[in-house]
């Protein structure tokens, strides 16, 4: 194929081309990027039980039980653990973390609340899960009494890397055989990204940085919606002191502490330097329950309050609440979404009839600068200016066909691809019922073709995000996912799809340029443009299903004989290669220096490959 990239007639590229979609699924928040190491730190429950001791166990000859002691620690966290045992014995509680706690040479910060008369020391420790040996510990003088709950803070210094198969224990020497001591909100954090209090895991944040994202769609997804009436994500219950956050059972069947709350999402966006795309609850639960028109106003106002909380200054009612929490500077929000996938669960009729319109009218009147997303492309009628949130979990061939999906999109209603991921094989079976559980190579190459189709339409599509983003291999609800991890902070696996998106996202355009092709697309697909920030012409391509290598001759404006470019090609051993947790990364990244001949830059690409050609002009 001979390809000539034109100098003129280009379109501005979208600065949001590649992004992230995050919701708490697959223990991606609690047990994932939210760095809290203690699982079930406040004795909360799940969809079957209001509170549980699981996974805590007794340490030593202790008798431990759930307690709804008065006074509660707080109305949000009413349940604590009562610990008692034989006088003179070391007793306490033990927690295995989220399937392990990684011990590295670093300082951990911890805290817990206690109630009950106790003079002496508490001991916080990290111990080997197999032998019980103490790997690091600290004694914490007790201030506990019966006048009220007392917070204790401590640091645990480790000078060793001892693996992640460890337990946290909190112990004391029993002074009374019948009187229990009570504990609640027992927390332990490793050093976090940018050293934020209540912050995020450094290794996972670094993986996200490696993707070079430009936006993040939060907080869902189905998680925002909630399964049954009352269980929606309530922004105002995810802010403030951790003792005031009740959490909730998310639709992905585990308890969300909401320690990772609205403000933490904003700080996360700041740390990644990405544009937040804030999705608002829009009156539809996953069980199909819809808020009727005459009851929806409360939720519309709640959404306005949420936006004001984030963006208002101290003179506004809700902005002042944020300032009171210590965040003086308003956050910048430019995109909000009205609900998630409202075409499902019988939501479409009411969404079209009144739900979208009520949110759209109220938000655009109050915040005319905001881009407002409809959660579905099936919205009808579509008000001018509304952005359409497109989701797709199809098969590889479908992703390839969708190279042209947005070519005819009406520019007055741009699209954001809020969730994308090839999740079915070409026979259309959904993969989480299949033995292939992770992104596999042809699926990732097909995603690349789709992404290139998005890139060539920057006037119609803002950009795209893969979903779901993160998967804790120890317990998850969805496959495939972009990044897989466990408590071992050096074991994270970047999927084949991660590599593909990472390559395309790290090679951005500022301007898309027209191209003349000697042949039609398929099996090769490509886009070309210019990155003026680094004086570089860029050509990006994917080769999908073919039995032969594809030969290319690329000419950039001004790239004369002798010009030197860099070609990066991603391949994998075979079409079904997967990056499996605990096994080597199978994606091969080959960089080649290419010198232009008379025909331009000439090279071949094998089937199932993704490539970027960069030529830096002087």
Which residues lie near ligand AHR (CB under 6 A)? Answer: 23, 25, 220-222, 340-341, 391, 419, 467-468, 478
Rounded Cα–Cα distance for residues 59 and 96 (Å): 12
Residue with structure tokens 């309530």? Answer: 234
Query: What dihedral do alpha carbons 545, 482, 508, 577 form, nearest 10°?
Result: -30
Non-local (6+) Cβ contacts of 318 within 8 A are: 305, 306, 308, 309, 312
Rounded Cα–Cα distance for residues 499 and 578 (Å): 12
Q: Output the smallest distance, CB 506 to ligand AHR, in A.
A: 24
Q: Output the smallest distance, CB 477 to ligand AHR, in A.
A: 8
Query: What are 187's two structure tokens?
Result: 């927390």
Q: Output the smallest distance, CB 75 to ligand AHR, in A.
A: 30
The length of the chain, given as a count of residues: 618
Rounded Cα–Cα distance for residues 486 and 92 (Å): 26
Q: Output the smallest distance, CB 470 to ligand AHR, in A.
A: 11
List the beta bridge partners of residue 30: 34
> How far is the CA of 234 from the CAs of 45, 47, 134, 298, 299, in angstroms?
18, 17, 40, 13, 10
Non-local (6+) Cβ contacts of 211 within 8 A are: 18, 20, 498, 501, 502, 505, 506
Rounded Cα–Cα distance for residues 558 and 607 (Å): 29
Yes or no: say if 504 and 57 are a contact pair by the CB < 8 Å rule. Answer: no
Q: Output the smallest distance, CB 400 to ligand AHR, in A.
A: 21
Q: Output the smallest distance, CB 226 to ligand AHR, in A.
A: 11
Burial class (CB in 10 A: 0-12, 13-18, 19+), 188: buried
Residue with structure tokens 């061939």? Answer: 397
User: Is the CB of 14 or the CB of 477 nearer to ligand AHR?
Assistant: 477
Number of CB atoms found within 10 A of residue 244's CB: 13
User: Is the CB of 108 or the CB of 265 nearer to ligand AHR?
Assistant: 265
User: Is the CB of 351 or the CB of 615 nearer to ligand AHR?
Assistant: 351
User: Is the CB of 30 or the CB of 308 nearer to ligand AHR?
Assistant: 30
Backbone angles phi and psi of 616, in degrees to 5: -90, 120
User: Is the CB of 425 or the CB of 477 nearer to ligand AHR?
Assistant: 477
Non-local (6+) Cβ contacts of 591 within 8 A are: 566, 567, 568
User: Is the CB of 339 or the CB of 529 nearer to ligand AHR?
Assistant: 339
Q: Output the smallest distance, CB 391 to ligand AHR, in A.
A: 6
SS3 21: strand
SS3 419: strand
User: Is the CB of 100 or the CB of 221 nearer to ligand AHR?
Assistant: 221
Q: Output the smallest distance, CB 570 to ligand AHR, in A.
A: 24
User: Is the CB of 219 or the CB of 319 nearer to ligand AHR?
Assistant: 219
User: Is the CB of 18 or the CB of 478 nearer to ligand AHR?
Assistant: 478
User: Is the CB of 307 or the CB of 467 nearer to ligand AHR?
Assistant: 467
Query: What are 277's two structure tokens?
Result: 């795309």
Burial 482-494 (b: 16+ CB within 10 A, else e): bbbbbbbbeebbb
Q: Output the smallest distance, CB 464 to ligand AHR, in A.
A: 13
Rounded Cα–Cα distance for residues 182 and 149 (Å): 9
Q: Output the smallest distance, CB 220 to ligand AHR, in A.
A: 6
User: Is the CB of 93 or the CB of 423 nearer to ligand AHR?
Assistant: 423
Q: Output the smallest distance, CB 333 to ligand AHR, in A.
A: 20
User: Is the CB of 216 or the CB of 541 nearer to ligand AHR?
Assistant: 216
Q: Output the smallest distance, CB 29 to ligand AHR, in A.
A: 13
């Amino acid at each position: 194929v001979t390809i000539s990239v034109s100098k003129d007639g280009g379109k501005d590229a979208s600065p949001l081309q590649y992004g992230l979609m995050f919701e708490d699924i697959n223990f991606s928040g609690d047990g994932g990027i939210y760095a809290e190491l203690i699982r079930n730190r406040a004795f909360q429950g799940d969809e079957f039980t209001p509170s549980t001791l699981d996974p805590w166990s007794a340490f030593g000859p202790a008798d431990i039980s759930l307690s709804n002691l008065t006074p509660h620690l707080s109305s949000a966290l009413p349940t604590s653990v009562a610990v008692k045992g034989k006088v003179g014995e070391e007793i306490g509680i033990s927690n295995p973390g989220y399937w392990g706690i990684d011990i590295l040479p670093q300082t951990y910060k911890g805290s817990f609340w206690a109630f009950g008369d106790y003079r002496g020391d508490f001991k916080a420790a990290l111990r080997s899960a197999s032998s019980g040996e103490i790997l690091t510990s600290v004694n914490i003088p007790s201030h506990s009494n019966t006048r009220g709950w007392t917070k204790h803070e401590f640091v645990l210094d480790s000078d060793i890397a001892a693996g992640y198969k460890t337990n946290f224990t909190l112990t004391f020497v029993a002074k009374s055989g019948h009187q229990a001591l009570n504990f609640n909100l027992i927390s332990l954090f490793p050093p976090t990204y940018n050293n934020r209090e209540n912050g995020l895991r450094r290794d996972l944040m670094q993986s996200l940085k490696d993707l070079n994202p430009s936006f993040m769609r939060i907080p869902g997804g189905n998680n925002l919606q909630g399964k049954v009436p009352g269980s929606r994500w309530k922004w105002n219950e995810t802010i403030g002191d951790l003792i005031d956050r009740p959490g909730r059972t998310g639709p992905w069947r585990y308890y969300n502490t909401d320690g990772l709350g609205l403000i933490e999402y904003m700080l996360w966006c700041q740390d990644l330097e990405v544009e937040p795309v804030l999705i608002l609850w829009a009156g539809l639960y996953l069980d199909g329950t819809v808020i009727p028109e005459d009851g929806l106003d409360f939720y519309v106002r709640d959404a306005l309050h949420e936006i004001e909380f984030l963006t208002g200054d101290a003179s506004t009612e809700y902005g002042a609440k944020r300032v009171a929490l210590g965040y003086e500077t308003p956050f910048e929000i430019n995109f909000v979404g009205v609900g998630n996938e409202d075409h499902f669960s019988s939501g479409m009729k009411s969404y079209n009839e009144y739900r979208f319109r009520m949110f759209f009218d109220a938000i655009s009147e109050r915040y005319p600068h905001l881009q407002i997303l409809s959660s579905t492309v099936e919205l009808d009628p579509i008000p001018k200016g509304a952005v359409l949130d497109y989701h797709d979990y199809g098969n590889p061939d479908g992703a390839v066909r969708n190279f042209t999906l947005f070519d005819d999109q009406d520019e007055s209603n741009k699209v954001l691809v809020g969730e994308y991921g090839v999740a079915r094989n070409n026979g259309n079976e959904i993969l989480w019922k299949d033995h292939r559980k992770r992104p596999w190579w042809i699926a990732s190459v097909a995603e690349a073709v789709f992404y290139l189709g998005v890139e060539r339409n920057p006037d119609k599509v803002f950009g795209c995000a893969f979903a779901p983003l993160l998967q804790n291999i120890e317990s998850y609800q969805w496959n495939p996912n972009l990044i897989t991890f466990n408590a071992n902070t050096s074991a994270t696996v970047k999927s084949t799809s991660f590599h593909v998106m990472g390559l395309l996202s790290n090679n951005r355009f500022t301007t898309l340029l027209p191209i003349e092709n000697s042949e039609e697309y398929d099996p090769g697909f490509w886009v070309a443009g210019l990155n003026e920030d680094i004086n570089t012409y860029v050509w990006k391509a994917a080769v999908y299903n073919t039995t032969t290598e594809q030969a290319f001759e690329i000419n950039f404006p001004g790239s004369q004989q002798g010009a030197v470019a860099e070609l990066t090609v991603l391949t994998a051993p075979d079409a079904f290669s997967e990056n499996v947790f605990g096994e080597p990364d199978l994606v091969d990244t080959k960089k080649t220096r290419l010198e232009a001949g008379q025909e331009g830059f000439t090279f071949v690409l094998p089937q199932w490959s993704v490539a970027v050609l960069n030529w830096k002009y002087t």
